Amino acid sequence: MTKIKLNGMLTAYDKKNLTIATVCSHSSLQIFNGARKEGFKTLGISIGKKKKFYDAFPLGKPDEFFIVDNYKDILKYTEELREKNTIVIPHGSFVEYLGADKFLTLELPTFGNRDVLLWESDRGKERKWLEAAGLTMPQEIKKPKDINKPVIVKYHGAKGGKDFFIAKTYDEFQRRIKKNRSFAIQEFVLGTRYYLHYFYSPIQDNAYKLSKGSLQLLSMDRRDETTIDEVQRLGSIAELEELGIHPTFVVTGNIPIVIRESLLPKVFKMGEAVVEKSLELFGGIIGSFCLETVVTEDLEFKVFEISARIVAGTNPYISGSPYSELIQSDMSTGRRIAQEIKYAAKNNLLNEIIS
């Protein structure tokens, strides 16, 4: 959507009567809860039918449901949604299931900078961005024949780690690879995983200062992945592989975690570098983002992915995290997003944080 079109939409909006909307999935309970705490009206876009379980969570339930048959149908109802002064909060499922290309054309004011998708959804460009920012990524193995240490094989477009596998040799790779699917091979980094949840505001200077605006660290999690995280209950991986049982990486939930305090300077340096480089490349990664990392035994971070929006790993922190409590009590990422929109609306800065 062009800047001119967006500005037209925002000008027509009643800024005192904004509605925060997202698709009912992923982190929506948190987003609605945060928006409600900041006094916004909320709207849940529900695919297929209204989801019954929201009734069990009155403080996470949207004020209104907007039912569509499928994700693509959201594109048809944008005018109706604009009449409600809707600002959309994207999350992982929303973007993944609508499709990045369609999401880019969605004619609704959307929190964050949608241009980030052009860098994030292309593995080559993502690597360029993160490495240019000085981050260390797991080594990429271009030719399967060159596999000479444990690697993880990732299929393109896989959702939540589905079908990823570990291979230790070229032979093993050959046995496991599914033909006709494109993939990438990465060195398997041994260490502990930390998924770091940042929030970048280009319009507020009240946190870790950057060349423009400031950066916060709101929380962190570790993903719970089946079966890799539980496989040892049955025996060693080597033992099980002999029986044809291979560990998998499907995300089933998220576990709260904190990091050694002495690593926080590195955490901020990485976040800073990613934001500064993004400002240079495409006008900035705005709002929440997550660096998915492994910390090695030498206390070095290897970053295997960036998520440029609210991640489900923030869900354990609806009433605040050990980090956000040091900023403001009872503040989730969902609430922080609502606060940013409220601040921008009040100061006539919405076009700095919306695309």
DSSP, res 55: G
Q: Is residue 165 near ligand ATP by the rule CB under 6 A?
A: no
Sign of CA dihedral 25, 27, 30, 36: negative
Q: How far is the CB of 159 from ligand ATP (least distance, A)?
A: 6
Q: How many CA atoms lie within 13 A of 343 on its CB side?
A: 15
Q: How far is the CB of 160 from ligand ATP (least distance, A)?
A: 5
Question: What is the Cα–Cα distance from 80 to 59, expressed in whole angstroms?
Answer: 25
- Angle separating helix axes 28-37 and 333-346, nearest 10 degrees: 40
Tallying the residues shown for the chain, one arrives at 355
The 103-142 site mask, x for binding ligand ATP (CB under 6 A), equals -----------------------------------x----
Closer CB to ligand ATP, 133 or 341, in the complex: 133
- Reading the block at residue 86, the tokens are 């809707």
Q: Of residues 261-280, which lie at the interface with ligand ATP (CB under 6 A)?
A: none
Closer CB to ligand ATP, 307 or 314, in the complex: 307
Q: How many CA atoms lie within 13 A of 231 on its CB side?
A: 19
- Reading the block at residue 289, the tokens are 């983002």
Q: Is residue 197 near ligand ATP by the rule CB under 6 A?
A: no
| From candidates 15, 37, 104, 161, binder to ligand ATP by CB under 6 A | 161
Closer CB to ligand ATP, 38 or 241, in the complex: 241
Q: Which stretch binds ligand ATP (CB under 6 A): 14-22, 38-46, 181-189, 317-325?
A: 181-189
- Is 193 strand, coil or helix? strand
| From candidates 99, 160, 253, 256, binder to ligand ATP by CB under 6 A | 160
Instruction: Name the strands in the sheet holding 183-187, side by side, starting at the edge strand that comes first in the sequence.
Output: 165-167, 151-155, 183-187
Q: Of residues 226-255, which lie at the interface with ligand ATP (CB under 6 A)?
A: 249
Question: What is the Cα–Cα distance from 213 to 200, expressed in whole angstroms?
Answer: 8
Q: Is residue 164 near ligand ATP by the rule CB under 6 A?
A: yes
DSSP, res 34: H
Amino acid at 121: S
Q: How far is the CB of 181 from ligand ATP (least distance, A)?
A: 13
| From candidates 186, 254, 288, 315, binder to ligand ATP by CB under 6 A | 186
Closer CB to ligand ATP, 195 or 317, in the complex: 195
Question: What is the Cα–Cα distance from 73 to 58, expressed in whole angstroms?
Answer: 27
Q: How far is the CB of 240 from ligand ATP (least distance, A)?
A: 18
Closer CB to ligand ATP, 20 or 274, in the complex: 274
DSSP, res 267: H
Contacting positions for ligand ATP (CB under 6 A): 138, 152, 154, 158, 160-161, 164, 186-189, 193, 223, 225, 249, 292, 294, 304-305, 307
